[in-house]
Amino acid sequence: MFGVPHTLFAIPARAAAKPLALLSLLALLGACSKAPESTSPTTQGAGGVTAGHGVSDERLVKAGSEPDVWLGHGRTYDEQRYSPLKQIDAANVGRLGLAWSYRLPTRRGTEATPLVVDGVLYTTGPWSIVYAMNAASGELLWTYDPKVPTEWARYACCDVVNRGVAAWGDKIFVATLDGRLVALDASTGEMRWSTQTTDPERPYTITGAPRVVKGKVIIGNGGAELGVRGYVSAYDADSGQQAWRFYTVPGDPSLPFESEVLQGAADTWKGGEWWKIGGGGTVWDSMAYDPELDLLYVGVGNGSPWSRHIRSPGGGDNLFLSSIVALKPDTGAYVWHYQTTPGDSWDYTATQHMILTDLEIGGQLRKVIMQAPKNGFFYVLDRQTGELISASNFVQTTWASHIDMETGRPVETPGARFADAPSFALPSPFGGHNWHPMSYSPDTGLVYIPAQEFPFVYGKDETFKYAPGYWNLGVDGSLSATPEDPEVAKQLAAMIKGRIIAWNPVTQKEAFHVDHPGPWNGGLLTTGGNLLFQGTPGGQFSAYRADNGERLWEFSAQTGIVAAPITYRVDGVQYVAVMAGWGGTFPLFFGSAYPPSNEPVNELLVFKLDGDAILAPPVRLEQVLPEPPEQKVDAEILARGKKDYHLRCAMCHGESAVGGGILPDLRYMNSQTHQDFYAIVLGGARSKSGMPPFGQILSAEEVDGIHAYIIDRAQNAWAQQATVGE
Ligand code: CA
């Protein structure tokens, strides 16, 4: 949104950014979403080092005492993403070099945190594909492709990404984009069991990593934007049998509630028919576990639709949206909750990374859980009781002035709920912090936050009508399109920021920060070597001093990095690994921020001291903007087209019709695609590639308007190109 001058993000690797040819984009889309030859899941194995091991409950509980491995998503159950390894340290990190790399045969977003178990590295790529490799040499041991139907991509709000696997016993667990939970033999990649965890008739997706607690595999799901009811489930790791399910929002109140807790939650929903759309509250990413208290913490997402005016017109907190919920992992029984954003209307999820530690606060040692959710406040809670200990904003928050310590609730600013007029707000639906993992270093006592500032205009979609299987926001996205006035656009662009914030959770104050050229930077890792690692969308993978943020080392990855790094040790050698690969929700909607210059590559990069491997060079994109057709409609139809485009198309093809290199940039349509426009948009001619047919919800007149708006944007780009050429 708010088209950003490219100079704001002038990063060497992408400085030569040029427009993409539609043909190369279509080729690219085809390459990544070609229908599989066989529809049954496949495993391919190779010889060499054998995978397979025993990850016991005891090993998971004591994972902190095994520095060589990375056994769980956040390394340890407390999800600190800190490793005590210090062979690589602030003094010698300048010698860090590439040990090996592995290029994934797909070009969609890469968000996984790898696991390393006894010399074997397990990771995932787009389309929920699993890879097992020799962690020292990079030799591929096996891959598993769950053969997610490519047309399911239409339900993926945020690209066909996957954030990783879980390990337990002799199995590896992956959850697939189309809602399956699959157990694989860790040695061979053969499927042991598979179970559908979602209703295939609803637009559920899974992108998160499972966790395993005491022999139960815990998994949530996503899809709130499209219209689903959120829940988290547990499955027996041996048999795949469902053990329990906890719904995060109440269902149809005319039917019996699943529990008394949900009956109570239903009192906080007033009016409306939220259950038809689903209500949201998806548990799509973060979890943590405290073995001593035996509590499982899950982060709950935003409402469906976003706008409470539609979802719950009588008001109310709408439990358990945007909450941290503590559950008993054996039964799924509710223990406590803390709601960060009561009555969410802004997509302010509480699914962001949660970290457990013990902090001395006011002379007392407190067992805390910490989170920096999208809403911009950093929370420190007592993890036994859910009591709010402290909260302070880590980025600018226009929607609420502060958190009232008496009530534990945010104090909202007038007009923030855009009831009568649109509201200009920080943070945006992208959040002050999104899914990108934080890190907590017990050495420095600081929490490192991949933070961002990003304005957004929230306004009601007065025309909202529930459209099953399509985006259902209830918010008018066209209000956040790039302003036509270049001066206003420039002012807004200056407000868009990204940085690492080193946060002191005891004093609730920033210790220091590291500024980046823009937002949507990668996840974080800290180590015993006083190091902090992070990648950026510009493709720089860097090491900083953890105690003061000084940049010590960097590597050009040739593609954007959003995932979090890990570190591990094999035969006495310490490695640092990160999944590089641009994608996810941000480039889909806000491609103008980081226009691609290369064909996207997905690559696992692994470093060690004195590593001397060399990355294969990137492929430069050919760029030709076809001359756009003439405009045949009047200003009124064009204005309506702009609105409909931002309601129906922008979340995948980019605000203001500027693509981010993942899916087709529609300004580059050739004459044949212009001719086929109705067949594609209304008839579903490209549904196999994930492009939904809109015949049910858009009229031919509305498609005319959308087409006209795209032509207008293409003409605009054509004119700009001519100006540059003069
Ligand atoms: Ca959301």
Q: 551 — phi, psi (to 5°)?
A: -80, 125
* pLDDT-based confidence at residue 28 (cuts at 50, 70, 90): very low
- Ligand 1 midpoint to CA 302 (Å): 5
The residue that leads in pLDDT, 556 or 618, is: 556
- Tell me the per-residue pLDDT of 80-106, one tens digit each, with 9 for 90 and over: 999 999 999 999 999 999 999 999 987
pLDDT value at position 17? 30
Residue 195, token pair as written in the block: 């179970």
- Ligand 1 midpoint to CA 346 (Å): 9
Determine the average pLDDT of the residues in 305-332. 97
pLDDT surpasses 90 at 41:
no
* pLDDT-based confidence at residue 600 (cuts at 50, 70, 90): confident
Q: 679 — phi, psi (to 5°)?
A: -65, -35
Q: What percent of the chain has pLDDT over 70?
A: 93
Q: How far apart are CA 162 and CA 126, in angstroms?
A: 6
Catalytic residue, chosen from 285, 347, 644, 712, is 347
pLDDT value at position 33? 34
Strands 509-516 and 497-504: antiparallel
pLDDT value at position 53? 59
Strands 82-83 and 525-527: parallel
Residue positions counted in the chain: 726
- Ligand 1 midpoint to CA 351 (Å): 9
Q: What is the mean pLDDT of the chain?
A: 91
- Ligand 1 midpoint to CA 224 (Å): 6
Q: 85 — phi, psi (to 5°)?
A: -55, 140
Residue written as tokens 């809670």?
Answer: 381
pLDDT value at position 50? 52
- Ligand 1 midpoint to CA 28 (Å): 27
- Ligand 1 midpoint to CA 587 (Å): 15
Determine the average pLDDT of the residues in 627-653. 93
CA distances from residue 377 to 278, 352, 371, 411, 499 in whole angstroms, order as listed: 27, 12, 8, 12, 16
Range with the largest mean pLDDT of 11-15, 103-107, 530-534:
530-534
pLDDT value at position 21? 32
Lowest mean pLDDT among 139-143, 433-437, 616-620: 616-620
- Ligand 1 midpoint to CA 301 (Å): 6
- Ligand 1 midpoint to CA 104 (Å): 28
Set out the domains of the chain in order of their start, with CATH numbers: 635-725 (1.10.760.10)
pLDDT value at position 375? 98
Q: State the alpha helices, DSSP H only, in 543-616.
A: 585-589
- Tell me the per-residue pLDDT of 164-194, one tens digit each, with 9 for 90 and over: 999 999 999 999 999 999 999 999 999 999 9
3-state secondary structure at position 449: strand
* pLDDT-based confidence at residue 39 (cuts at 50, 70, 90): low
Whether residue 404 lies in the annotated active site: no
Q: How far apart are CA 665 and CA 642, in angstroms?
A: 16
pLDDT value at position 655? 92
Residue 696, token pair as written in the block: 């049910």
Q: How far apart are CA 164 and CA 144, in angstroms?
A: 13
pLDDT value at position 200? 97
- Tell me the per-residue pLDDT of 281-312, one tens digit each, with 9 for 90 and over: 999 999 999 999 999 999 999 999 999 999 99
CA distances from residue 10 to 3, 514, 547, 611, 622 in whole angstroms, order as listed: 14, 17, 28, 29, 20
Q: With a threshold of 0.85, does the pTM exceed it?
A: yes
The answer to whether residues 119 and 560 touch, using CB atoms and an 8 Å cutoff, is: no
